[in-house]
Amino acid sequence: MGPMAADQLATLAALLADRTRARFLLALMDGRAWTAGELAEAADVTASTTSEHLSRLSEAGLLVERRQGRHRYVQLAGPEQARLLEELLAYLGPADPPRRTLRASTADQALRRGRTCYDHLAGRLGVAITDAMTTRGLLTADLAVTDDGLAWLGRELAFTPPASRRPLAKACLDWTERRSHLAGTAGAHLHAHFHERGWVRRVGTGRAVRLTPTGETALHDLLGVRPPD
C-alpha cells in the first residue's frame, strides 16, 4: 500500500475524530433514516453545524441522503459502514466514566442486553441467537450458513436468499460482548422477521431492543434461547 492508502486512512481518521460527527454516526447505527434536525437535537448542536458535518460524512461515503417530499433524511451508507463502527468500538473497549447517573446506567445495560447494529441484532441477545444457531449446526464456527441452516431459515423464518452482492452471512464483532454476532442478509432478515411479528421492541428512541413476552416464547421454541439477563 502506498501514499494514497495512507492519505485515505488519515482522512477517515480525521472525520471520525470529531465528537459531533461521532455522535451522528453512533445514532445512525440503529439503521433508521434520521432528519438533520433529529441529529442536531441528539448531539445538541445547531442546524448549521449539523449541515456542515453531514455534508462531510456524505462526501466521504459514510452516509447517504434520501429525500421524501420536502424532507431530507440521512442514514449510514450500508452494513459495511456499520460494521466498521462496531469493530472500532470493540477495539476501544469499555470506557465507562467513574460516576454515572442511574438513567445513563440503565440505558447502557439496555444496549448491552440487546440492540440493533444497523439492520441486525447485537448485544447479548444477538450473540445468544448466533451461538444457538451455531450449536444446532445452522451456522459453521466462522458463521457461514449451512445447508441445514438455509433450510431452517426458509422453513421457520420464510427466508429466501436475495439476489444481492451482500454476503448471505457474515461475522460482525460485537463491541460489548467481544464476540461475533450474525450479520449479512440472513442476520438482517432475522431481525426484520422478529420486528414484524412483534417479538422484539425498541427501548426508547435509541438502538436498544428487548424481547417481548411473545418473542421470549418464540425464541425459546425456535432455538432454545432464554432472554439475556
3-state SS assignment for residue 217: helix
pLDDT of residue 94 exceeding 70, the answer is no
pLDDT of residue 212 exceeding 90, the answer is yes
Residue 121: pLDDT band (50, 70, 90) is very high
Give the start-to-end residue ranges of the domains of the chain.
3-77, 81-95+105-223
Which residues lie across from 68 on neighbouring strands? Answer: 71
Least-confidence region, from 84-88, 94-98, 120-124: 94-98
How many distinct helices (H) and strands (E) make up the chain? 10, 9
Instruction: Pull the grid cell for residue 211.
Output: 424481547
With 0-12 CB in 10 A as exposed, 13-18 as middle and 19+ as buried, what is 222?
Answer: middle
Other Cβ atoms within 10 Å of 226 Cβ, number:
12
Instruction: Quick: pLDDT tens for 170-199.
Output: 999 888 888 899 999 999 999 999 999 999
Q: Determine whether domain 3-77 maps to CATH 2.60.120.10.
A: no
Residue 29: pLDDT band (50, 70, 90) is confident
With 0-12 CB in 10 A as exposed, 13-18 as middle and 19+ as buried, what is 66?
Answer: exposed
The Cα–Cα gap between 193 and 186 comes to: 10
The Cα–Cα gap between 79 and 55 comes to: 20
Residue-level pLDDT at 8: 85
Residue-level pLDDT at 169: 95
More confident residue, 220 or 87: 220
Residue-level pLDDT at 53: 94
Q: If we measure between CA atoms, which residue out of 148, 153, 151, 183 comes closest to residue 169?
A: 183
Instruction: Quick: pLDDT tens for 215-224.
Output: 999 999 999 9
Distance of CA 162 to the CA centre of its chain: 20
Least-confidence region, from 3-12, 30-39, 119-128, 156-165: 3-12
Residue 120: pLDDT band (50, 70, 90) is very high
Instruction: Quick: pLDDT tens for 128-168.
Output: 999 999 999 999 999 999 999 999 999 999 999 988 888 99
Mean pLDDT over 6-35 rounds to 89
More confident residue, 97 or 164: 164
Instruction: Pull the grid cell for residue 41.
Output: 437535537
Q: Are 216 and 225 in contact (CB under 8 A)?
A: no
Residue-level pLDDT at 185: 95
3-state SS assignment for residue 36: helix
CA distances (Å), origin 142, targets 68, 133, 134, 171, 182: 40, 12, 9, 7, 10
